[in-house]
Protein backbone atom coordinates (compact mmCIF):
# COMPACT_ATOMS: atom_id res chain seq x y z
CA UNK A 1 0.00 0.00 0.00
CA UNK A 2 1.43 3.32 -1.06
CA UNK A 3 1.24 6.37 1.17
CA UNK A 4 1.12 9.70 -0.71
CA UNK A 5 4.06 11.89 0.30
CA UNK A 6 4.99 15.41 -0.76
CA UNK A 7 8.54 16.68 -0.97
CA UNK A 8 8.45 20.43 -0.39
CA UNK A 9 11.10 23.06 -1.03
CA UNK A 10 9.98 26.17 0.91
CA UNK A 11 10.18 29.49 -0.88
CA UNK A 12 11.92 32.53 0.54
CA UNK A 13 10.22 33.83 3.66
CA UNK A 14 8.79 30.46 4.73
CA UNK A 15 10.55 28.34 7.33
CA UNK A 16 10.56 24.53 7.04
CA UNK A 17 8.99 23.90 10.45
CA UNK A 18 6.02 22.13 12.03
CA UNK A 19 3.76 25.18 11.70
CA UNK A 20 4.31 25.43 7.94
CA UNK A 21 3.80 21.67 7.54
CA UNK A 22 0.54 21.81 9.51
CA UNK A 23 -0.67 24.68 7.34
CA UNK A 24 0.03 22.75 4.13
CA UNK A 25 -1.58 19.56 5.43
CA UNK A 26 -4.68 21.47 6.61
CA UNK A 27 -4.95 23.16 3.20
CA UNK A 28 -4.88 19.75 1.49
CA UNK A 29 -7.38 18.28 3.94
CA UNK A 30 -9.87 21.10 3.27
CA UNK A 31 -9.61 21.09 -0.52
CA UNK A 32 -8.86 17.53 -1.63
CA UNK A 33 -10.85 14.32 -1.55
CA UNK A 34 -9.60 11.86 1.11
CA UNK A 35 -8.13 9.49 -1.48
CA UNK A 36 -6.10 12.34 -3.07
CA UNK A 37 -4.68 13.85 0.13
CA UNK A 38 -1.02 13.66 1.02
CA UNK A 39 -0.35 11.77 4.26
CA UNK A 40 3.30 12.70 4.71
CA UNK A 41 5.27 15.81 3.99
CA UNK A 42 9.03 16.29 3.98
CA UNK A 43 11.01 19.48 3.61
CA UNK A 44 14.07 18.61 1.54
CA UNK A 45 16.21 19.71 -1.36
CA UNK A 46 15.21 17.80 -4.46
CA UNK A 47 17.85 15.77 -6.30
CA UNK A 48 18.23 17.15 -9.81
CA UNK A 49 20.01 16.24 -13.01
CA UNK A 50 22.49 18.53 -14.72
CA UNK A 51 19.69 19.90 -16.89
CA UNK A 52 17.54 20.67 -13.81
CA UNK A 53 15.02 17.84 -13.98
CA UNK A 54 13.97 16.19 -10.72
CA UNK A 55 15.44 12.70 -10.24
CA UNK A 56 12.31 10.85 -9.12
CA UNK A 57 14.09 7.49 -9.29
CA UNK A 58 16.54 8.65 -6.63
CA UNK A 59 13.69 9.85 -4.42
CA UNK A 60 11.88 6.49 -4.76
CA UNK A 61 15.03 4.55 -3.89
CA UNK A 62 15.62 6.72 -0.85
CA UNK A 63 12.09 5.99 0.39
CA UNK A 64 12.43 2.24 -0.24
CA UNK A 65 15.64 2.08 1.78
CA UNK A 66 14.01 3.55 4.88
CA UNK A 67 13.38 1.34 7.90
CA UNK A 68 10.09 -0.51 8.31
CA UNK A 69 8.22 0.55 10.43
CA UNK A 70 8.81 4.07 9.15
CA UNK A 71 11.05 6.22 11.32
CA UNK A 72 10.53 9.94 10.84
CA UNK A 73 13.33 11.76 9.16
CA UNK A 74 14.44 15.26 9.94
CA UNK A 75 11.94 17.69 8.45
CA UNK A 76 9.25 15.04 7.95
CA UNK A 77 5.67 15.48 9.19
CA UNK A 78 2.67 13.14 9.11
CA UNK A 79 -1.00 13.97 8.52
CA UNK A 80 -1.86 12.21 11.80
CA UNK A 81 -0.09 15.00 13.72
CA UNK A 82 -2.47 17.70 12.46
CA UNK A 83 -5.95 17.96 13.86
Q: How far apart are CA 12 and CA 71, in angstroms?
A: 28
Q: Which of 7-16, 23-32, 33-42, 61-70 has the lowest mean pLDDT?
A: 61-70
Q: How far apart are CA 64 and CA 21, in angstroms?
A: 23
Query: Which domains occur in the chain, in start order?
Result: 5-81 (3.30.300.30)
Which pTM value belongs to this model?
A: 0.80
Q: How far apart are CA 67 and CA 35, in angstroms?
A: 25
pLDDT tens figures, 17-43: 999 999 999 999 999 999 899 999 999
Amino acid sequence: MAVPKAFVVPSAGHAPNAETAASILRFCRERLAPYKRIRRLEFADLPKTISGKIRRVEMRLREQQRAVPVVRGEGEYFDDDVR
